[in-house]
């Protein structure tokens, strides 16, 4: 890590104390609201503990994730992501920071799992909705069941966090529970594997290029390998990047661009990236967005005559589709693998 700090010419930290920790089992709701609000105003990142998903099950999900990524590439390409963003994403498929990643994309591979809907469901024609893509059960027995269970449990955690966020924005606690919001969400889980490439920012080589997330919030579960960095002030010159240390049993939660729009920039969607240090690294990101039809417009508690809305209203589905299109490779580049 010392070498990476020299290349960036910015200080880095592996301390965990600079992120607030929200304990979902804490009966003192006001304390949780206060800690979360402070984090959202400061850096948009915080830890969530005692979230109700057992450590034993978390370890099983990571074990199953490793089993998939250890498969031969030819096997993984059989479940290549489709136009609904379900399935496998190869190394270099995603380009998050085109200004600095001049020659190549992210040195990571992934696997998308969304809300499962049958093809004949009236909602299945919409982007990000529909049936998932699954490896054959004979190759990875029980894999689908494990991932579906985690997807459902993580959504429960996200809804609990969203209730605290609503209170921090002076809204009713159930504001985000409405059907057009997290009642019928676009919830996308992404298994991630960084194979051990050593990042070199001076050459534009990253595990994941600098970016902010697109949606409402993201839950991130990681193994014990450090790699995630955040930049609290994206406009600073030079940018200062700090490491976020893994915390066993916790989710690292960050706010997305959609919540920044909703809150009129009161809450921050923070720039972050992943640097590889030569060690293999696994993580699971769970992206939580409202439904397609949800109109994202400035919240009544976040605007005034002196602080009018900074963004026009936009439908969630329209916004997300464009952001994914901007950062992922055209599927036509993989035609040679299909036979």
Percent over 70 (pLDDT), the chain: 87
Between 117-126, 259-268, 329-338, the lowest mean confidence (pLDDT) is in: 329-338
pLDDT at 6 over 90: no
Q: Which residues pair with 109 in a beta bridge?
A: 193
Q: What's the rounded Cα separation, in Å, for the pair 247 and 151?
A: 20
**Phi-psi map region of 72: left, alpha, beta (phi>0 left; psi -120 to 50 alpha):** beta
Q: What is the pLDDT of residues 49-58, one digit of tens each?
A: 999 999 999 9
More confident residue, 268 or 30: 30
pLDDT at 66 over 60: yes
What is the CB neighbour count within 10 angstroms for residue 123?
13
pLDDT at 3 over 70: no
3-state SS, residue 181: helix
- Crossing angle (nearest 10°) for helices 143-168 and 29-42: 90
Q: What's the rounded Cα separation, in Å, for the pair 276 and 282?
A: 11
Q: What's the rounded Cα separation, in Å, for the pair 221 and 59?
A: 10
**Mean pLDDT value across residues 32-43:** 94
**Is the pTM for the entire model greater than 0.85?**
yes
Q: What is the pLDDT of residues 141-193, one digit of tens each?
A: 999 999 999 999 999 999 999 999 999 999 999 999 988 889 889 899 999 99
**Mean pLDDT value across residues 110-114:** 95
Name the band, by pLDDT with cuts 50, 70 and 90, for residue 224: very high
pLDDT at 200: 84
Name the band, by pLDDT with cuts 50, 70 and 90, for residue 12: very low
pLDDT at 273 over 50: yes
Paired sense of beta strands 21-23 and 45-49, if any: parallel
pLDDT at 8: 40
Q: What is the pLDDT of residues 115-131, one digit of tens each?
A: 888 888 888 887 778 89
pLDDT at 308: 94
Identify whether the C-beta of residue 321 lies closer than 8 Å to the C-beta of residue 82: no
3-state SS, residue 315: strand
């Amino acid at each position: 890590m010392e070498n990476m700090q020299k290349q960036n010419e910015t200080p880095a930290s592996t301390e965990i104390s600079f992120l607030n920790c929200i304990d979902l089992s804490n009966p003192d709701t006001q304390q949780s609201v206060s800690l979360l609000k402070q984090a959202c105003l400061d850096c948009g990142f915080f830890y969530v503990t005692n979230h109700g998903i057992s450590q034993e099950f978390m370890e099983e999900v990571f074990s199953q994730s490793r089993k998939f990524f250890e498969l031969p590439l030819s096997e993984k390409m059989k479940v290549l992501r489709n136009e609904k963003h379900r399935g496998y994403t190869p190394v270099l498929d995603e380009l998050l920071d085109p200004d600095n990643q001049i020659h190549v994309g992210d040195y990571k591979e992934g696997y998308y799992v969304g809300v499962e809907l049958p093809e004949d469901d009236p909602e299945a024609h919409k982007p990000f909705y529909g049936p998932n893509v699954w490896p054959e059960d004979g190759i990875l027995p029980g894999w689908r069941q494990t991932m579906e269970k985690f997807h459902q449990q993580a959504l429960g955690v996200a809804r609990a966090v969203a209730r605290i966020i609503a209170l921090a924005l002076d809204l009713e606690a159930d504001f985000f529970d409405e059907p057009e919001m997290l009642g019928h969400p676009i919830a996308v889980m992404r298994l991630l594997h960084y194979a051990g490439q050593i990042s070199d920012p001076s050459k534009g080589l990253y595990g994941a290029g600098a970016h902010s997330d697109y949606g409402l919030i993201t839950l991130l579960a990681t193994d014990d390998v450090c790699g995630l960095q955040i930049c609290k002030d994206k406009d600073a010159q030079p940018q200062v990047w700090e490491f976020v240390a893994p915390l066993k049993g916790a989710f690292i939660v960050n706010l997305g661009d959609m919540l920044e729009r909703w809150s009129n920039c009161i809450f921050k969607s923070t720039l972050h990236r992943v640097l590889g240090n030569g060690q293999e690294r696994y993580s699971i990101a769970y992206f939580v967005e409202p439904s397609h039809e949800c109109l994202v417009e400035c919240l009544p508690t976040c605007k005034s005559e002196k602080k009018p809305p900074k963004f026009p209203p936009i439908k969630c589905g329209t916004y997300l589709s464009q952001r994914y299109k901007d950062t992922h490779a055209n599927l036509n580049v993989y035609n040679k693998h299909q036979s």
